Chain A
Amino acid sequence: MNHDNYTDQYLRSVLDKVRTIAMVGASPQWNRPSYFVMKYLQGKGFRIIPVNPRAAGQTILGEKVYADLKDIPEPIDMVDIFRNSEAAGPIADEAIALGAKAVWMQIGVRNDAAAARAEAAGLPVVMNRCPKIEYSRLHGELAWSGVNTGIISSKRQKRV
């Protein structure tokens, strides 16, 4: 996988196969980027389970916060990492161990060694991207903000 340039098809394939996302580094503060992403994805029908040892036991946007990925008592489709690139390594390994179907690292987060391990285990990996931005770009919403989505289509876009 070329992690400098993902095709739209690849990003769609990742987002289309996940419903439950564990968000590692989710913040309870409403003005933090992770909160924005969680709220947006919830609105699109994703279930987001926040992971943050400093907020464990609290609730973010109606969801209980867990201290560690391993503590989540239900299956996870994807792990979304809001931590630094170094910390992303062991988190990706936990994702593999838990049987997640995909690993996503946020903008500014990139760990090629961890990505190679996840890919070897059959998990697609996206790095240095935001699922909120990519979901909204692929579904036409990002264009509402003047962004170059790269989507060229003569088909009517489905409302999201």
Chain B
Amino acid sequence: MSDSPKPAGSGFGFETRAVHAGASPDPATGARTTPIYQTTAYVFDDADHAASLFNLQSYGYIYSRLTNPTVSVLEERVASLEGGRGATACASGHAAQMLAFFAFMEPGDEFVASRKLYGGSITQFGRSFKKFGWNVIFVDPDDPENFRTALTPKCKAIFVESLANPGGVVTDLEAIAKIAHAAGVPLIVDNTLASPYLCRPIEWGADIVIHSTTKFLSGHGNSMGGVVVDSGKFDWSQNDKFKSLSEPEPAYHGLKFHETFGDLAFTVAGHALGLRDLGAAMAPLNAFLTITGIETLALRMERHVRNAQTVAEFLAAHPAVSWVNYAGLAASPYHALAKKYLPKGAGSVFTFGVEGGYESGIKIVEHCELFSHLANLGDTRSLILHPASTTHRQLTEAQQIAAGAGPDVIRLSIGVESVADIIADLDQALAHAMKSGA
């Protein structure tokens, strides 16, 4: 299929779409804020209407495991902000990853992924996906050619994080997208840490974008969620790798998704096959909270990155800090990539190394008074974590180091509080670790 139309709604500015996309007043009541449609199911007009809906011939709601009016607003909003054709929301970022691969992976299939990923993703891909017969090949993402070298005939996709968690690693999306397309496979990008305000991977050639909406999109640490955005640009019929989208689907009486739904195929399949059978639907209340959060995404991200830059500069000059891995610092090896892909700021999640290693790391997280010690990021609150003893503890030490989560590493997610208070809290915790250490 050639000449894909421009992303719908691209005439409106980012901030306008963050407030409005997907959310016209409620057609039934005129309610201006999107209502929470707290219902499991929807009545059919008659038997023929029901049949049309089950056959995917008409649009409408059947059951909230598949679609829900509140969740649909969130889907359209994130699709709009990412410049995608459509989106499928689900229960968490991990569910989103499962859903994205489920659309086309078969037992025995492979994909190539960056080895610098969120530790939970390395575990999900490396261990749980194996139970489906899906094999991941991890490579160092710093040289895009590593992806080309690792591709096998069984590979169905390349997976990276735009801004990797936790290491402040920026990925060369444009180069890797070209490698994926030369091999006839899609590039899947987890854009959670950047958010579409800082980076829009589809503009650099990504075909599918994933988010844990739990993070910056919802933004307030109050609702779990994930979303898979499809660019609508990948041709699923260009080769015989994507049979579940290009060939007859037995569960829908031989319907071919790509032929029937064109550039909507991936999104329709995300609901009609993925959510139907994996079952990881998003709760309407979580969708409502996430929609509300996204309305202020631009405002929050501006403050997040400004605070993060200031804190990173403070830490880089601190005697108890051995290194800071923030791509916004000129000394970062990823600074040039950050300027290209993240011109508005290098995010607000980064790591630093503390003198004294594992023991000092634990002392710092325990002595923070403003930073919350917990396993999340992208909250209005500043958060601190010692990955080696928490999120990345299920990895071997070699895997931890490869993922940027070695024993001396501390991860910060800088919030939107007064930056002087954020710095003061880190300063006293560092002083405590230095005093009681050694």
Binding site for B on A (CB under 8 A): 3-6, 30-31, 33, 35-36, 39-40, 43, 107-108, 110, 128-130, 133, 136-137, 140-159
Q: Does A145 lie within 8 Å of B67, measured CB to CB?
A: yes
Binding site for A on B (CB under 8 A): 1-3, 5-12, 16-17, 20-22, 24-28, 30, 52, 55-61, 67, 69, 71-73, 75-76, 79-80, 84-89, 252-255, 259-260, 262-264, 267-268, 270-271
Contact residue among A31, A129, A148 (Cβ-Cβ distance under 8 Å from B86): A148
Secondary structure class of chain A's binding surface, majority of residues: loop
Contact residue among B20, B89, B264 (Cβ-Cβ distance under 8 Å from A147): B264
Q: Does A144 lie within 8 Å of B27, measured CB to CB?
A: no
Q: Does B10 lie within 8 Å of A145, measured CB to CB?
A: no
Q: How far is the CA of A110 from the CA of B3 in the complex (A)?
A: 10
Q: Does A146 lie within 8 Å of B20, measured CB to CB?
A: no
Identity of the chain A residue whose Cβ is nearest the Cβ of B83 in the assembled complex: A148
- Residues of A near B61 (CB, < 8 A) are 144
Q: Does B254 lie within 8 Å of A143, measured CB to CB?
A: no
Q: Does A150 lie within 8 Å of B10, measured CB to CB?
A: yes
Q: Does A145 lie within 8 Å of B59, measured CB to CB?
A: yes
Contact residue among A110, A146, A155 (Cβ-Cβ distance under 8 Å from B25): A155
Q: How far is the CA of A158 from the CA of B27 in the complex (A)?
A: 7
19 inter-chain pairs at a CB distance below 8 angstroms, sorted by A residue, are A6-B5, A36-B56, A36-B57, A39-B57, A40-B57, A128-B2, A133-B262, A145-B264, A146-B87, A146-B271, A148-B76, A148-B86, A151-B24, A152-B24, A153-B20, A154-B25, A155-B25, A156-B26, A157-B25
Q: How far is the CA of A149 from the CA of B264 in the complex (A)?
A: 11
Contact residue among A36, A128, A154 (Cβ-Cβ distance under 8 Å from B260): A36
Q: How far is the CA of A49 from the CA of B175 in the complex (A)?
A: 49
Q: Does B72 lie within 8 Å of A144, measured CB to CB?
A: yes
Q: Does B5 lie within 8 Å of A157, measured CB to CB?
A: no
Q: Does B58 lie within 8 Å of A40, measured CB to CB?
A: yes
- Residues of B near A107 (CB, < 8 A) are 1, 262-263
Contact residue among A148, A152, A156 (Cβ-Cβ distance under 8 Å from B87): A148
Given A145-B86, A150-B9, A4-B259 contact (CB < 8 Å): no
Q: How far is the CA of A29 from the CA of B17 in the complex (A)?
A: 40
Known contacts A128-B3, A146-B67, then 19 further A-B pairs from the complex at CB < 8 Å, ordered by chain A residue: A5-B5, A6-B5, A40-B57, A129-B5, A140-B27, A144-B60, A145-B267, A145-B268, A146-B71, A146-B86, A146-B89, A147-B86, A147-B264, A147-B267, A150-B9, A151-B9, A152-B16, A157-B25, A159-B28
Residue from the set A3, A4, A147 with the largest chain B CB neighbour count within 10 Å: A147
Q: Does A148 lie within 8 Å of B8, measured CB to CB?
A: yes
Q: Does A146 lie within 8 Å of B57, measured CB to CB?
A: no
Contact residue among B3, B79, B255, B260 (Cβ-Cβ distance under 8 Å from A148): B79
Q: Does A156 lie within 8 Å of B30, measured CB to CB?
A: yes
For residue A137, give the distance in angstroms from its CB to the closest CB of chain B. 8
Contact residue among A31, A150, A154 (Cβ-Cβ distance under 8 Å from B80): A150
- Residues of B near A153 (CB, < 8 A) are 20, 24
For residue A144, give the distance in angstroms from its CB to the closest CB of chain B. 5
- Residues of A near B55 (CB, < 8 A) are 30-31, 36
Q: How far is the CA of A146 from the CA of B71 in the complex (A)?
A: 8
Q: Does B67 lie within 8 Å of A130, measured CB to CB?
A: no
Q: How far is the CA of A11 from the CA of B80 in the complex (A)?
A: 20
Q: How far is the CA of A53 from the CA of B363 in the complex (A)?
A: 80
Q: How far is the CA of A146 from the CA of B85 in the complex (A)?
A: 9
- Residues of B near A43 (CB, < 8 A) are 52, 58
Contact residue among B6, B86, B270 (Cβ-Cβ distance under 8 Å from A5): B6
Q: How far is the CA of A143 from the CA of B87 in the complex (A)?
A: 10
- Residues of B near A143 (CB, < 8 A) are 22, 72-73, 76
- Residues of A near B3 (CB, < 8 A) are 3-4, 110, 128
Q: How far is the CA of A137 from the CA of B267 in the complex (A)?
A: 14
Q: Does A152 lie within 8 Å of B20, measured CB to CB?
A: yes
Q: Does A31 lie within 8 Å of B76, measured CB to CB?
A: no
Contact residue among B21, B69, B89, B268 (Cβ-Cβ distance under 8 Å from A152): B21
Contact residue among B25, B252, B270 (Cβ-Cβ distance under 8 Å from A31): B252
Contact residue among A137, A146, A157 (Cβ-Cβ distance under 8 Å from B79): A146
Q: Does B8 lie within 8 Å of A150, measured CB to CB?
A: yes
Contact residue among B9, B11, B58, B76 (Cβ-Cβ distance under 8 Å from A146): B76
Q: How far is the CA of A140 from the CA of B6 in the complex (A)?
A: 19
Identity of the chain A residue whose Cβ is nearest the Cβ of B89 in the assembled complex: A146
Q: Does B85 lie within 8 Å of A148, measured CB to CB?
A: yes
Identity of the chain A residue whose Cβ is nearest the Cβ of B255 in the assembled complex: A31
- Residues of B near A128 (CB, < 8 A) are 1-3
Q: How far is the CA of A130 from the CA of B260 in the complex (A)?
A: 10
For residue A149, give the distance in angstroms from its CB to the closest CB of chain B. 6
Q: Does B25 lie within 8 Å of A147, measured CB to CB?
A: no
* Shortest beta-carbon contacts, A-B, top 6: A150-B8, A146-B75, A150-B9, A148-B79, A147-B86, A107-B262
